Amino acid sequence: MAFATQDVKYSFVVEDEGGTTSQLEITVPTSVLTNPADMTEFGDEMAALLDALSDGKIEKYNIIIGRYDSAATAASAGSNVEKKGRLLISNALNKTVRLAIPSVLDAVLVASGSGKAKDINTAHADVIALIDALISGLTMASTNVIAPTDSNGQDLIAVPEAYQQHTRSHYTGRRRKG
Amino acid sequence: MWSIESCFLLTVFFTDEGNSTSRLSLYIPYSWGWSEGIEFADGIVALLKDLSDAEVDYYNLISRRYRIASPPAVGSDVARCGAFFWEDATGEIFAGFIPSFDEGKLLRDGITIDQTDIDVVAVTAAMTTGLTLTSTNTIQPLSGFNSEDLTSLIEAYLQYRDYRT
């Protein structure tokens, strides 16, 4: 597996009087990543230029790094993204954050005590590795340790529940590169 | 004044045998910066792939910026777009659409965008020659999938589009 950055996009969100939003995307060279300060300065300046041509409101924009693996392993026969591995994760404020792994492997599932949906086997080495990364973080080449958070920046503390769950996948569109 | 949200949003895309797609999102503190944010993303995606039999060949890492802006003008409508057609270095035409285009930037025909308007000139210059930043680096936008420099504005006019999100 080798992901590589193939595009850097800016998505400017324009809102009109009725509260409807639309987005304008601008692609820039990946070389912009070499100087992160350039990335925000370019976005701020471009937003000002676009603002002068629109009577809508430009209140936010996103900088999107798209990374692709051209040699990714193809989906296995029988894979199904609606079959999810659901992790319930408690954060530092003891609130629950949900994470769902699409098309979870049968190999990491075990029969549940309730006799209904299967549980995720939290003693499986690959499950342990993921939970450890979510809670304790991953060590970077710099030796910094980075751990994910919830959307409010709160640390993730523990995974009290993990089980299989079928949920409809609402996401139908997909942008492919090449 | 623009501010940045405290977390990157990492979105990982999973595609199954039937080509249906689902995604998983995680947050990473922005304070780590882009370089380590990407390194972390590569690492966590590798762990997620070990738990799924779907194809995972794409993810994106998003930084979100926001500000308090003036309310939209009365009569603003994101379906009313300024359609700009740019030529890239290979001669391909690339279209860009500015939602809720200001009708004060149109010629008397009410359709054609006034390419001599100072604000239109500024956007055209930014798109075709780039913006020179404090670092002295110049960043120039590219055409969509071609990833080529945009060289000139070919045509610009008002167009109504069902282009809402």
What part of B 110-129 touches A (C-beta under 8 Å)? 119-120, 122-123, 126-127
Taking the CB of residue B128, how many other CB atoms lie within 10 A of it? 17
pLDDT digits (tens, 9 = 90+) for A93-150: 999 999 999 999 999 999 887 666 799 999 999 999 999 999 999 999 999 999 999 9
Q: Give the DSSP H/E element, type plus range, for residue B9.
A: strand B7-15
Q: How far apart are CA A54 and CA B98, in angstroms?
A: 7
| Pair of tokens at residue A39 | 């990335």
CA distance A114 to chain B (A): 23
Q: Structure pTM?
A: 0.89
Cβ contacts (< 8 Å) between B47 and chain A: which residues?
126, 129-130, 133
pLDDT at A112: 80
Question: Among B2, B6, B41, B5, which Cα is nearest to B25's?
Answer: B41
Query: Between B16, B66, B74, which is nearest A17 by CB?
Result: B74
DSSP assignment, residue A131? H
A177 band by pLDDT with thresholds 50, 70 and 90: very low
**Is residue A168 predicted with pLDDT exceeding 50?**
yes
Mean pLDDT of B115-142: 96
On whether the CB atoms of residues B83 and B63 are closer than 8 A, the answer is: no
Please enumerate in sequence order all residues whose Cβ is within 8 A of that of A37, keeping only pairs 6 or more positions apart, or say none.
B133, B134, B135
| Pair of tokens at residue B28 | 């990473």
Question: Among B78, B46, B40, B75, which Cα is nearest to B61's?
Answer: B40
pLDDT digits (tens, 9 = 90+) for A14-59: 999 999 999 999 999 999 998 989 999 999 999 999 999 999 999 9
CA distance readout (Å), A11 to A23, A49, A164, B71, B72: 6, 14, 35, 19, 18
pLDDT at A69: 95
Interface test mutation site (partner A, options B51, B59, B66, B146, max chain A beta carbons within 10 A): B51
**Is residue A154 predicted with pLDDT exceeding 90?**
yes
Cβ contacts (< 8 Å) between B89 and chain A: which residues?
none
**Is residue A7 predicted with pLDDT exceeding 80?**
yes
Q: What is the DSSP string of A36-105?
A: HHHHHHHHHHHHHHHHTTBSSEEEEEEEEEEEE-TTPPPPPTT--TTEEEEEEEEETTS-EEEEEEETB-
pLDDT digits (tens, 9 = 90+) for B79-125: 999 999 999 989 999 999 999 999 999 999 999 999 999 999 999 99
Would you say the C-alpha torsion B118, B130, A44, B100 has a positive or negative sign?
A: positive
pLDDT at A178: 30
- Whole-number CA gyration radius for chain A: 21
Query: Mapping DSSP to helix (H, G, I), strand (E, B) and coil, where does residue A130 land?
Result: helix
- Tell me, yes or no, if A172 comes closer than 8 A to chain B by beta carbon: yes
**Is residue A169 predicted with pLDDT exceeding 60?**
yes
